[in-house]
Structures are given as structure tokens and as C-alpha cells.
Structure 1
């Protein structure tokens, strides 16, 4: 299934979405700026932007986007397995219905393309499964990184000021946001892999075929690769050498899209709202430990 999605997320195709994504960001920042402080940046910007983008990709009608995003989020909730399973089934049912609609009225979206190009080779259930994968893995981590990026820049006022004055540094800021967590949050991701050969790590021998869980957060703060690794540094050399998107043949196929979204946010946010600050003490922000991807449910700010 992965090979069917890879071409849909090519660098060229994702860059064609850049202008539309920037328009989304501008509209959301208008709404944020028009609010009366404190405003919840999470619900006004971080959550809606990736939801809108993934819905653009799948051709989800505008009227369905709010519930679509909430369904997807509920799927990652580990606090209630039955609720998570029920929510996932709602996503599956909706996607199955959407594929059937796209077969009758195709649009400019991934589902319609798969129907046209793979007609007969893939069942509607197969195409719906691909749509589920795009939804469930295509937006939640970006939501988390927008929130964490805001916190990282608020914690580093000199770097924040430098970014506000030099928006061309946004790509460098994005790489640091991807690399770092905040107080242990967002830096504890594990990715499953199988050993291709025997290897000794410390006193442990990992045999060919053994399953391993790799702590990419630890790699991303390895001082041998990143001098002063705990610092947020817009001038860091080789900033893309982190492993936030994995590595090799199983790297994240949505990495180009995520970078475009994050860059659009952080080249604008602090120029538009130079006095942005948290409206509550940082320690009062609640990290959602029960959610597979972690993240916050609110980020109150004033400006």
C-alpha cells in the first residue's frame, strides 16, 4: 500500500500545494488576531491547519471537516480502548462512503486519482484503507509540532526575535522544532524496526531479525551529531540530519508536506503577532499522555 501513496506525496506535488497552505495560514492568523485574549492557539491554528490540508488532499467536503478531525484524534486516544475503536470505525465508515461518492463525482484529490488509475486493481475498501492511512498519519504529528514550536520559540526570545526579523530563517526554525521536544515532551517517539545484521550495542547483542524500538528523540540530541544539542539554534550546521521523519526506505512520506505547513506557520506567526505570549503558566499546560502522539488540547495565548 505504501508504494501507492508515495507518488501522491512527491516533492513536486507537495510544493504545488504551498500557496493554498499559505492562504489557510493567513486566514487562520486573521481569526487568531481578531480574537479577544486569551485565545486558544491550539484550536485556532495548530489543530485546524493540518486538518484542512489533509482534507484538501482527500477531497473531504468543507462541512465535514470539523467532525472528521475530531474522529481522527479520537482514534489515537488510549485512555478508552472501546471509544478509540468506535471512533476508528466511524472514520472507516465515513471514508468508505466518501470513496463511493468520489466514484460517482470525482474531484481533484488523492481518492479520485486512485479510483481512476487503479480501477479494477483496487477495491473501494482498499482505497478507503489508503485514505484512512493518509488521515490518521498525515496530520496529528504536525498539530503537535506547531504547538511545541510556539513553546520552543517563546522559551528562546533571542531566536524568536531573529526569526521575526528574518522570516527566511523559518526553514531552519522548523528543523529545530522537529529535532527538539520541550521538557521531555515530543522527544520520546519510538519507531519499530528489524535488525538486518547482528550488532552489539554496549553489552547487548542484537541478532539479525530481532525487533527493536528506536528512540529517535535520543538520536536527535546526540552531542556527536548536534553540538550543544539542547540549544535551539537557527544557525545550526546540517539541520536536516535529525531523524524526526525516520531514515531510509521507511522514512515518513509526508515529510515534505509537514515542512511546508510548519514553514508557512513560523515565517508568519511572530511577524503577525510580535507580542505573542502564553496566557497561562507553562507548567499548567497538560500534555496528553493517553494519546499515542501526545500533544496539548489547548494553548492559551495573549498578544
Structure 2
């Protein structure tokens, strides 16, 4: 499932290549035909993300709300003026991905014929975007958008995000912090990778109860989440290891050296050498070091 940094990159791409343009909106699959008709021919005003929620705002005061979930992904294309990634999303079989656009030199002749179950297609004079497999895709009002955001915790990637709000939400709960970081009502945008990695970086046990996390620990946890997620936005991928903890100093960082514990069950911890452990928590895979995260 794409984590918050990917959705913020999606919002940036939509703002860059579609904002201010009148779009043709359709549903080749047919499942979103009524919603597409409400947006067809309208101008995209802006695009914004809150956690894992993407909101595309149109000039008729309606929003297209999208949650990609486990299977959702966008494909993009266009003419020579259309710059950005060609694919952003998280097909479960290959994991989260972002594929850079490659110009093959062919003349642009409009969007290609839809492939597969395209829920929504957005077309501008210079490019197109196809959405497949989202968990949520609906047209909503501004009041409904505000209600969705109100149910969510603070987003570490937003300017002015409320650190104190996160600390309060975390420390009033008697659930393990490994569950709380994945709870979008506590913190918006963190998924399985960031959960495992920031808990390791902060030497926190996933089983420590939220109410037992000290204020200074919670503040340090928030600061680290803000830091690594902003890195994710800048880099287009999640890299949480420090150079000193990698075998290679190559740029870009090799995939197998990008993380401390995520998907490293049975391998030695990069810090202490203990075997990285794995189990399930909240119906998702959990990875941690029993030594570095003992407390």
C-alpha cells in the first residue's frame, strides 16, 4: 500500500501537469460513470493529500477523493510537455512503486486505448492519467472532504502539522505503539514500512503501550517520522538507513540496503548483529530487532 509520501508526490504531479486545465473525465470500466459525469469538462483547481487520501478539487466545488489501498495505482502519459512519473501506486504483487517517465520519441496522439479495468481516466490537452484498483474513489463536496480530514490524525508532511496533537493521541492509548502508528486516526500517512523503520531508529519496542511512551520519546518519534517521510517525498522511495549502516555508498541506494528491519526477517541487524525478528501485528507483517528495540 502506498504510504503518505507517495500520495503527496501524486498530489504534486497532478498539480504540475493538470492544474488549471479542463479535463475529460470518464470511466472506461463503467463502475464510476456517474461520478465521472459530475466532473467531466471541469477545470482541475488543485490537488492535495492528507495522509493516504488524495483530493482532486474541481471548479464546480466538488472533489474526487481517492484512496489507493493495497491494489490502486495511477499510470500517466502525454506529450513532450508532460513531465513526471509514468506510474505511481502499489500493486500488491510487486509492492509500492514509482516508475520514471521515459520519452520514446513517438509523436503524441492522445491517450492509448484503456488496458485492464480503468476506474477513472482523466485527459487534458497534453496528457492523461488512468486509475486502476483503488480502495475508494468517490465525488464529494467540500464539507464531506473536511469531514474525512477531521477523522484523521495529523499528517507529518503538511506544513504546520500539530506535533502536540500526535503526542496526545499516542499517549492516551493503551494499545501497542506498533499498532498506533498504523492507525490513521492517530497519525495520517504512516504504513508498514515507516512503522517498522522509525520504531527501529528510535529503539522503541513495537509492544510498548502508547501511554508508556514518554513525551520526549513521542516528540523524537514525531521528528523522525517527519524527517524520513520528507526524504521519501524528495527521493520517490523509502530509504531509512544511514550511510554508515550500509555496505555500499552508491547513489542510488541499493534496494537491499535501504531499510534496517523491514522485510529482513532472519537477517542480522545492521546495528547489533542479532537476527531480525518477524511476526504479525494488526494483520500486517511486523519486523523488529529484539536487542535494539528491547524497551
Q: Which has the higher strand share?
A: 2
Q: TM-score range by the shorter chain?
A: under 0.3
- Structure having greater relative contact order (Cα 8 Å, sep ≥ 6): 1
- TM-score w.r.t. the length of structure 1 is 0.21
